[in-house]
Amino acid sequence: IKEFINSIRDISDCNIMLIGDHGMSTVQSTIDFKKILDESLKTLNIDKNSVDLFCDSTLGRVWIEESEKKDIILRQLRKCSELNEKGRFLEKEDYCNLNIPYKPQSYGDIIWLANNGIMISPDYFHGPFPTKGMHGYNPDNLETYGTLIVYGEDIAREEVEFAHLADVNSIIKEKMLLN
């Protein structure tokens, strides 16, 4: 990035903005969420066709047809040491803390969130071939943060250590003198 900025220093009639809305973490390990769910359902003698599963790279999301079975399935999944070591299940208070609307019918009755560096594999994006880097983890880790660089002749040099993604629009407008 520094090399790019140095190469454009002679251009004085434009402002440049580089933005990345998320960071990346090195994938250190994987987990087969579908296999664990299938084994749990078999143990409980619950037909796997009575649940829907979506494996994002960092989220295992489960929709359950019969709502009374949610707690039974969740209790069984919580017994899995690998799930407990490599991530956690979202609790109701997590939705507020993470700015996620609590809508189980939309996002899943059960949501498991991988720890930073853990990837669900296979998932519905990469199949059985996990990537070397991933995003979409809990935003409490520095590696998950995005980057915003605004450069131009009339833009004061300033470093902001942290800003919420929702504030980026106003920062851009201020720095690019769009107010």
Average pLDDT over residues 8-22: 74
Which pLDDT band holds residue 19 (cuts at 50, 70, 90)?
Answer: confident
Which pLDDT band holds residue 173 (cuts at 50, 70, 90)?
Answer: confident
Q: Supply the DSSP string of 82-111, one letter for each residue.
A: HHHHHEEEPPHHHHHHTT----HHHH-SEE
Q: Which pLDDT value is given to residue 75?
A: 97
Q: How far is CA 54 from CA 60, 128, 156, 165, in A?
A: 6, 15, 46, 26
Provide the token pair at 44. Answer: 């409980």
Name the most confidently modeled range: 60-64, 102-106, 126-130. 60-64
Provide the token pair at 61. Answer: 């999301």
Average pLDDT over residues 77-104: 91
E strand spans, the chain: 16-20, 25-26, 29-31, 51-55, 59-64, 87-89, 110-114, 118-120, 133-134, 147-151
The helix (H) or strand (E) run that includes residue 137 is none
Instruction: Give CA–CA dist 4/23, Å, rounded.
Output: 20
Answer yes or no: is pLDDT of 151 > 80.
no
Of the two residues 102 and 36, the one the predictor is more confident about is 36
Mean pLDDT of the chain: 85
Q: Which pLDDT value is given to residue 81?
A: 97
Average pLDDT over residues 62-71: 93
Answer yes or no: is pLDDT of 88 > 90.
yes
Q: How far is CA 170 from CA 63, 129, 144, 154, 179, in A?
A: 37, 39, 21, 17, 9
Q: Which pLDDT value is given to residue 55?
A: 93
Q: Which pLDDT value is given to residue 73?
A: 97
